[in-house]
Structure 1
């Protein structure tokens, strides 16, 4: 049986990060659908679940590897942008414990100043503009 499945999958795309993401969305829809008592929402979620299952299988068993690879690359670029955005927000929140973060009035560059130093003159490393802020 294992050999038959391996022979069947030869030349097919298989699974990737986009399929894994769609599977997670499918599971979330299924869990939400279990707790929703509204008929219209339940029908909508069930139709989304069916579409996701069909799309996952179409991508997994596809022989057009270049097209599936391009779809996955587009997804990965979006995922990386989202991860970078939230990682940056997390880093800024961690820095706020010990530093003030100001923006340059001229070029909008973010500048990190240690807390507890009183009034300090800040020079922007990007444009050289000086301004005074409380730390």
Structure 2
């Protein structure tokens, strides 16, 4: 294990962009195997090579900047999926949009028809919970 530390000394290492490149490479390989279209398997080599070039690079500042650009692109997408997953976990409440201002209002399920008051614009509307 000591030899690996010596090799990686002064190198950039693994980050989120490197992991994403490896995932893309694996996906392209799997897609290329099933329909027996070897173009995808051949294209899978490109992100894998880029990943290893990034991992063993000595230009740490540039690799860090590349990773930050990737995270600026990826984080809004990831947060959108996280929010949707969190909403689907809540089985005890329903979400309604206010017809006036569009604010999302959370109300408990199983109460029948209820009058919902928007906390922002104070608009009242009736919905089944």
> Do the two structures share a fold, i.e. TM-score over 0.5?
yes
Pick closer, same or farther for the CA change 1:7–1:117 going to 2, 3 Å. closer
SS at match of 1:125: coil
Q: Does 1:56 align with 2:51?
A: yes
Name the residue aligned to 2:27.
Answer: 28
CA offset at residue 7 of structure 1? Answer: 4.2
Gaps of 5+ in 2: none
Deviation at 1:76, TM superposition (A): 2.6
Between the aligned partners of 2:64 and 2:56, the Cα distance in structure 1 is 13
Shift of 1:102: 0.7
1:1-135 alignment runs, 5 A limit:
2-3=2-3, 6-38=5-37, 42-43=38-39, 45-95=40-90, 97-135=91-129
CA distance in 1, matches of 2:127, 2:103: 15
- Give the whole-Å Cα distance in 2 for the aligned partners of 1:125 and 1:85: 24
Q: Deviations over 1:10-47 (max 9, x none)?
A: 32212212111211221222222222223xxx22x133
3-state DSSP of counterpart to 2:44: helix
Q: 3-state DSSP class of the match of 1:101?
A: strand
Query: Residues 134, 2 of structure 1: CA spacing in aligned structure 2 closer, same or farther, 3 A cutoff?
Result: closer
TM-score by length of 1: 0.78
Q: Unaligned regions of 5+ residues in structure 1, if any?
A: none
**TM-score normalised by L of structure 2:** 0.81
Deviation at 1:128, TM superposition (A): 2.1
